[in-house]
Amino acid sequence: MTRPSKEPMTEPSMKRLTGKTILVTAAGQGIGRAIAERLAAEGADLIATDLRHGLLDGLPGRLEALDVTDGAAIRTLIGGLDALQGLVNCAGMVPHGDILACDEPEWRRAFTLNVDAAYHTTRAAVPLLLAQGGSVVNIASVVSSVKGAPNRFAYGATKAALIGMTKAVAADYVTRGVRANAICPGTVDSPSWRGRVDEQSQARGVAREVVEAEFVARQPMGRVGTPGEVAALAAYLLSDESAFTTGQVHVIDGGWSN
């Protein structure tokens, strides 16, 4: 598999997020962790949440165990904040299979985690964002309304819904100081992706290197992305540098959807 020899040079050169309180869900690993680390490095007052509190070890700021499928817990956490200028909805799951492989329980689980969770967090956060101004960043996917992919039926449907939610929030509050944007990554080297590679390897009885190579083969750049590359884009969208940007779908997929 071809991977970058090292993380691309995306280290922050300034403290663009100083004075901003930003909450990140699913901040324990992968893209969520990279975003949390980047925001803290840029000066944000970080509130990092994850279902498993132990995954948050080592992050700066306020660390909270949070089940994003629990609307009451979300309202309690966000309702108790004095300040909030940013929200990153990163929690999600990647169901595998076509429509015939997707039974109703899995369909409901996918929407509960990939869509309902963002609804609950955003609804709880909007009053604070309206009072103080701020930005919502939803981690969607290029596999959504942007592009279809084999065996990603439920996943693509949920991420398309998340894009629709993003655009609706942006339209409703465009004149009131609240922005919303979606980031749509392609394949990113993360614990979630590595787990899917292992699952497919075992299910098909082939070496994991074969599955990895198949993922890379569909990438025009000849590699998968890194969490840090996604984090750099999230930091920009949460900063005042992107003040004229809202309701947009930001594709970061190495040219896969071209």
Largest CA distance in the chain: 55
Give catalytic residue positions.
155
Is the pLDDT assigned to residue 5 strictly greater than 50? no
Is the pLDDT assigned to residue 10 strictly greater than 70? no
Is the pLDDT assigned to residue 193 strictly greater than 80? no
Is the pLDDT assigned to residue 9 strictly greater than 60? no
Mean pLDDT of the chain: 93
pLDDT digits (tens, 9 = 90+) for 120-175: 999 999 999 999 999 999 999 999 999 999 999 999 999 999 999 999 999 999 99
Pairing mode of beta strands 21-24, 45-50:
parallel
Beta-bridge partner residues of 65: 50
Instruction: Give phi and psi for 3, each to the nearest 5.
Output: -125, 160
Note the pTM of the prediction, 2 decimals.
0.90
In this prediction, residue 54 carries a pLDDT of 97
Q: How far is CA 192 from CA 24, 45, 105, 143, in A?
A: 17, 27, 21, 15
Q: 116, 92, 98, 101: which is closest to 184 by C-alpha?
A: 92
Do 197 and 212 contact (CB within 8 A), yes or no? yes
Do 26 and 32 contact (CB within 8 A), yes or no? yes
Count CB atoms within 10 A of the CB of residue 202. Answer: 11
In this prediction, residue 6 carries a pLDDT of 47
Look at 7 and 113; give whichever has higher pLDDT: 113
Nearest-angstrom CA–CA distance, 60 and 210: 38
Nearest-angstrom CA–CA distance, 232 and 218: 24
Q: 104, 83, 86: which is closest to 39 by C-alpha?
A: 86
Task: Give percent of the chain above pLDDT 70.
Answer: 95
- Mean pLDDT, to the nearest integer, of 70-78? 98
pLDDT digits (tens, 9 = 90+) for 44-59: 999 999 999 999 999 9
Task: Give percent of the chain above pLDDT 90.
Answer: 79
Q: 14, 13, 42, 28: which is closest to 234 by C-alpha?
A: 42
- Mean pLDDT, to the nearest integer, of 110-122? 98
Do 89 and 100 contact (CB within 8 A), yes or no? no
